[in-house]
A and B are shown apart, each in its own frame.
Chain A
Amino acid sequence: MATAAELSVARARVAQAAAGDRQAQAWLVDHLMPMVRKVTRAMLSSAVDADDAAQLAFMEILKSARTYRGDAPVTPWARRIVVRCTLKYARKERKCQTAEPIDRLEDRPARPERRAWESLPRGVADYLRELPEPQRQAIVLHHALGHSLDEIAELTGVSPNTVKGRLRLGTQALRKLVRRELLIGAPDDTRRDAMIMGAPGARDAGAAKQRKGRGR
């Protein structure tokens, strides 16, 4: 929980950033960088898209700085902006608020870095990509970014019941997928792809299976 003093400092700095103080703007960008990176990477996977969405989101934060009231920490305030920008970007709008759609980036290749967890045949991003987009977004917003169902409903413009349905379906689908692959391993092409990305753990489906066997 942020103290009153911390909120006061944040409020002052954001106000300075809004007034054009470059040091305060740099502080704001630096302060929010981990959050912006996590949101954009988690929701977009492709490095190019994540970079572009992050830049758009930062621009929007800087433009909106004057609307920050300072009665809550700056990161949650900014995160809502980042999530909105990223969701819009993901819908191919390639903008945050006003610009007309720009399609010129659609041919940029998605080439995610895959994180090979020791017991997982594939990286998490691979599994998430197998879900329908609304389910994937709901899963990321809830499980990776910690948004409540109501918050997700507001951010995505659907009812909380719809969000709950998406989360349940997505969670079920992911569990089935993961359990199946822990038993029989990942498809060959994904293992190969993961290895090309330098994720040596990707070939460990067999090893995970053996560990499972030994654990019983």
Chain B
Amino acid sequence: MTARDFEELDALRWASAVTAQARGEALEPEEREFKAAIEAGNPELEEELDFWRAVAHEGESGLAGEMSDDDLAASVLAAFADPVASTGPLDLEALSRAAEHNELEPEALEDAPAPREQGRPAPVLALAARRRARYGMAAGIGLGLAAAAAVVIGVLGGVPNVPGWDPTVPGAAPQAASLDGELSEPGVRRRAGAIIPAEEDCVPIGPSSRACIEEGALEVVAAVDGGEPRIRVDQGSLRVVSDDVAVDGGEVVASVVETPIATLHGHGASYEASVAEQPLLLILVVDRGEVEVEHKDGSRRQVRAGERVTIQLADGAAEADADLADAELAVDGEGEPSVADARRARAALLSTAQAHVEEGDRGRAIKAYRKLVDDHAGSSEARLARVSLGRLYLEDGQGSKALVQFRKYLKRSGGQLREEALYGEIRALRSLGRKAAEQEAIERFLDAHPRSIYAAGLRRRLDDGATGEGSSPAPAAG
């Protein structure tokens, strides 16, 4: 068979056989024979095998920034469960569309199911805060569906305990405020739980407050919980802007923002809350009004306009709720690096290191990665950098240093580069001639990633007792 024949006639058939096998399907004998014959006549195809096997597994690895499975399931089930009840599914899409345009009137819900049962967890609006604009809020269509359910709940059984604010009465809701405190849409009124169209920047979290989420903020959810609108930010920055609206006999209704460290109760306050994940800390800057900080242990503290506080958990405290009680007010001061400053510094170091790698300057790349790892230990960037650093050390023939980096990455559970780090550990052990340890590492790898692209080579290596020349899964980089 000529190369042209193969290109035009059989490449698809061969690739189909490779991907079917990689998906774990058994080939018909005829296809098996065809594949073997083609590969025998075209040895260069071996170089393409990895690619086609990888195509077969496309979609199995998580994407950066995607929702966790649990969050996705919770969002779907919350959106689906409440509108269904006894009357069958509502037209969620119609609800979503109507809510997007603030057209949802209470009458439209006459056929809706009974109000939410008392004591049931509030459905969550999983607002994907990933829009490109600063303070952007992306309310995806799927999320919009979830939100539609909350509209129902908000209207039927949610919010009306806010004094003077009856969301079931058109025109009774307060006017929305923009970032500068002015009315963003004069004359337009909203009700609790209203979905924020994508073109808007902020989400109302009370009759007189709006929360505006900075680009890059993660795990932001808003919920109507027992009648009190609240929002939670797990990572990133969120700005709350409040009007001084006294809605009931001069009382200013609180806005509530939850963070992993403390709950913030704003009383006519405008403030910015930034949550960093590694280390877990909260920076609170109050521009106007007063914010009551409620710690996880129940203690409270007032932070007033013009004040800035940093609240940090003890090392590793984020891991367990019990440890959250260890939260303490750490620094109250000026000149302290902000979360954003630290993030920028890490990004700069990462960029520098990558530039050196591209230039082929391994020494300076190692230096930059080391600085990132040493100066920002605990950050997600530093953890990722350990894998790059390990690979660079391997390329540089420094197997023991590489091993340290891979193992430090692996010390914590999870991580998007775990498979790479495990594989790096194997390569480092091999470079050090530690055959028994390498064999154990291969077994651990195969247990954790039996369908990895490295698996076949590693199994061959195991079969050879991790000693056979020419049977390596892949030589050390470089």
Q: Does A142 contact B (CB under 8 A)?
A: yes
With known contacts A104-B197, A182-B47, A198-B388, A113–B64 Cβ distance under 8 A: yes
Whether the pair B387, A105 counts as a contact (CB closer than 8 A) is: no
Give complex CA distance A35, B279 in Å.
35
Q: Does B357 contact A (CB under 8 A)?
A: yes
Interface residue from A56, A116, A145 paired with B141 (Cβ < 8 Å): A56
Select from chain B the residue with minimum beta-carbon distance to A207: B477
Whether the pair B56, A105 counts as a contact (CB closer than 8 A) is: no
Q: Does B62 contact A (CB under 8 A)?
A: yes
Select from chain A the residue with minimum beta-carbon distance to B59: A42
Q: Offer 29 A-B interface pairs, CB within 8 angstroms, sorted by A.
A: A25-B77, A41-B61, A41-B63, A48-B65, A54-B72, A55-B72, A56-B141, A56-B145, A59-B92, A97-B93, A104-B199, A107-B131, A108-B130, A109-B130, A111-B64, A117-B51, A118-B423, A120-B50, A127-B51, A128-B55, A139-B55, A142-B19, A143-B15, A195-B354, A195-B388, A198-B384, A198-B388, A200-B420, A201-B420
Give complex CA distance A100, B85 in Å.
26
Nearest CB in chain A: distance from B313 CB, A? 26
With known contacts A104-B198, A198-B416, A118–B58 Cβ distance under 8 A: no
Which residues of A are found within 8 Å of B226, using beta-carbon distances?
none
Q: Does A72 contact B (CB under 8 A)?
A: no
Which residues of B are found within 8 Å of A145, using beta-carbon distances?
59
Give complex CA distance A21, B77 in Å.
11
With known contacts A51-B140, A58-B76, A192-B354, A140–B58 Cβ distance under 8 A: yes
Interface residue from A112, A144, A172, A207 paired with B56 (Cβ < 8 Å): A144
Q: Which 10 A-B pairs have the closest CB atoms?
A: A55-B142, A42-B59, A47-B63, A38-B59, A104-B198, A47-B66, A41-B59, A99-B93, A143-B19, A52-B140
Q: Does A171 contact B (CB under 8 A)?
A: yes
Instruction: Tell me the count of chain A residues lying within 8 A, CB to CB, of chain B.
Output: 88
Which residues of A are found within 8 Å of B61, using beta-carbon distances?
41, 113, 115
Whether the pair B80, A117 counts as a contact (CB closer than 8 A) is: no
Scan B41-84; emit 1 where CB is below 8 A from any A CB, else 0.
00010011011101111111111111101001101110111001
Q: Does A11 contact B (CB under 8 A)?
A: no
Q: Does B23 contact A (CB under 8 A)?
A: yes
Whether the pair A179, B47 counts as a contact (CB closer than 8 A) is: yes
Whether the pair B51, A124 counts as a contact (CB closer than 8 A) is: yes
Whether the pair A47, B65 counts as a contact (CB closer than 8 A) is: yes
Which residues of A are found within 8 Å of B140, using beta-carbon distances?
48, 51-52, 55, 105, 108
Dominant secondary structure of chain A at its interface with chain B: helix
Which residues of A are found within 8 Å of B62, using beta-carbon distances?
37, 41, 113
Select from chain B the residue with minimum beta-carbon distance to A94: B141
Give complex CA distance A37, B59 in Å.
7
Select from chain A the residue with minimum beta-carbon distance to B347: A196
Q: Does A90 contact B (CB under 8 A)?
A: no
Interface residue from A113, A117, A144, A211 paired with B416 (Cβ < 8 Å): A113
Which residues of A are found within 8 Å of B60, using beta-carbon distances?
34, 37-38, 41
Interface residue from B16, B143, B453 paired with A55 (Cβ < 8 Å): B143
Which residues of A are found within 8 Å of B50, using beta-carbon distances?
117-120
Q: Does A175 contact B (CB under 8 A)?
A: yes
Whether the pair A54, B142 counts as a contact (CB closer than 8 A) is: yes
Interface residue from B8, B63, B97, B130 paired with A50 (Cβ < 8 Å): B63
Give complex CA distance A138, B65 in Å.
26
Binding site for A on B (CB under 8 A): 7-8, 11-12, 15-16, 19-20, 23, 25, 44, 47-48, 50-52, 54-67, 69, 72-73, 75-77, 79-81, 84-86, 89, 91-94, 96-97, 100, 128, 130-132, 138, 140-143, 145-146, 197-199, 350-351, 354, 357-358, 384, 387-388, 391, 416-417, 420, 423, 453-454, 473-475, 477-478
Taking CB atoms and an 8 Å cut-off, the chain A residues in 33-70 that contact chain B are 33-34, 37-43, 45-48, 50-56, 58-59, 62-63
Dominant secondary structure of chain B at its interface with chain A: helix
Give complex CA distance A128, B54 in Å.
11
Select from chain B the residue with minimum beta-carbon distance to A195: B354
Whether the pair A198, B55 counts as a contact (CB closer than 8 A) is: no
Whether the pair B65, A108 counts as a contact (CB closer than 8 A) is: no
Nearest CB in chain A: distance from B460 CB, A? 14
Give complex CA distance A120, B48 in Å.
9
Nearest CB in chain A: distance from B109 CB, A? 18
Give complex CA distance A188, B354 in Å.
12
Scan A140-173; emit 1 where CB is below 8 A from any B CB, else 0.
1011111000000000000000001001100110
Which residues of B are found within 8 Å of A63, using beta-carbon distances?
80, 89
Which residues of A are found within 8 Å of B8, using beta-carbon distances?
168, 172
Give complex CA distance A207, B44 in Å.
17
Interface residue from B25, B94, B351, B391 paired with A146 (Cβ < 8 Å): B25
Nearest CB in chain B: distance from A202 CB, A? 10
Which residues of A are found within 8 Å of B145, using beta-carbon distances?
55-56, 59
Select from chain A the residue with minimum beta-carbon distance to B128: A48
Give complex CA distance A59, B66 in Å.
18
Whether the pair B453, A118 counts as a contact (CB closer than 8 A) is: yes
Whether the pair B81, A100 counts as a contact (CB closer than 8 A) is: no
Which residues of A are found within 8 Å of B54, using beta-carbon distances?
115, 117, 120, 124
Give complex CA distance A46, B140 in Å.
13
Nearest CB in chain A: distance from B45 CB, A? 9
Give complex CA distance A117, B155 in Å.
51
Additional A-B contact list (15), CB under 8 Å, known A25-B81, A59-B76, A104-B197:
A22-B81, A50-B63, A52-B142, A105-B141, A113-B61, A113-B63, A118-B50, A118-B454, A171-B12, A172-B11, A178-B48, A178-B51, A195-B357, A196-B354, A214-B475
